[in-house]
Amino acid sequence: MQDDDEELWEYNLMTDSVLHLIKVVLPDGQAIVLNVEPVCQTIKDPKKMVQSDAPKFVADGIELVFCGKLLKDEATLLQVGISSSSQLKLVQYSSCWFLRSV
């Protein structure tokens, strides 16, 4: 939802739709606003959305931080407390030195 010239119907939004907008702050300080579904989406979903909006950030090469905690991909947004107006921080790691424990 980055284009201010688009109409709401172009995003498949109907009357009485509820938007859950979160902000993801990129390493350069810019932010991307995403429309999410906290109940059913996992942390992996906004990572894919970021990749779609900013292709230089590959979903498998980034991590999201919320309230100082590194978020695990399999957790739902609701499980980690993310809701409308939440702000997450994106951290990009170099594959040469970062190895995520499973």
Give pLDDT tens digits for 8-64: 667 666 676 678 999 999 999 999 999 999 999 999 999 999 999 999 999 999 999
20-92 CATH, one of 3.10.20.90, 3.30.2290.10, 2.60.40.10, 1.20.140.10: 3.10.20.90
Residue from 45, 37, 39 nearest 19 by CA = 37
33 pairs with which residues across the strands?
23
DSSP assigned state of 51: H
Give pLDDT tens digits for 51-73: 999 999 999 999 999 999 999 99
Is a pLDDT exceeding 80 seen at residue 4? no
Among all chains, which residue has been given the structure tokens 């991590």?
63
List the beta strands (DSSP E) in the chain. 21-25, 31-35, 62-66, 69-70, 87-92
DSSP assigned state of 28: T
Please state whether beta strands 21-25 and 87-92 pair in parallel, antiparallel, or not at all (unpaired): parallel
Residue 14 has what pLDDT?
Answer: 67
